[in-house]
Amino acid sequence: MQYPLSRDEHTAVSRYVADIKKQLKYVSDLLSARYGDNTRIADLAGKTLLSSTLLEQEMMLLETPAPEPIEIRVKRAAAGI
């Protein structure tokens, strides 16, 4: 069973993810500058930043209402609604 986030929860989580992404960007840049772009730690930091970016994008997709199934649109059109 799904328990979607309330609008307030969604807003809060989206804000948290955006803040985490900003912090991870700073960390990624710092580690790349200090240890070099081609090091394992810089690579892991970049992957972590990418994961937070993907999570942020998924949160944005959840904001977009799902399109109404075609069957319902056809029925509504036939009923003149």
44, part of any domain:
yes
1, part of any domain:
no
pLDDT along the chain (81 residues), means of 10: 82 95 97 97 97 95 75 75 72
Asked if residue 18 lies in contact with residue 56, where contact means CB atoms within 8 angstroms, the answer is yes
The tally of domains found in the chain comes to 1
Instruction: Report which secondary-structure segment, H or E, holds 42.
Output: helix 40-63
52, part of any domain:
yes
61, part of any domain:
yes
Range of the domain at 24: 7-79
Asked if residue 59 lies in contact with residue 12, where contact means CB atoms within 8 angstroms, the answer is no
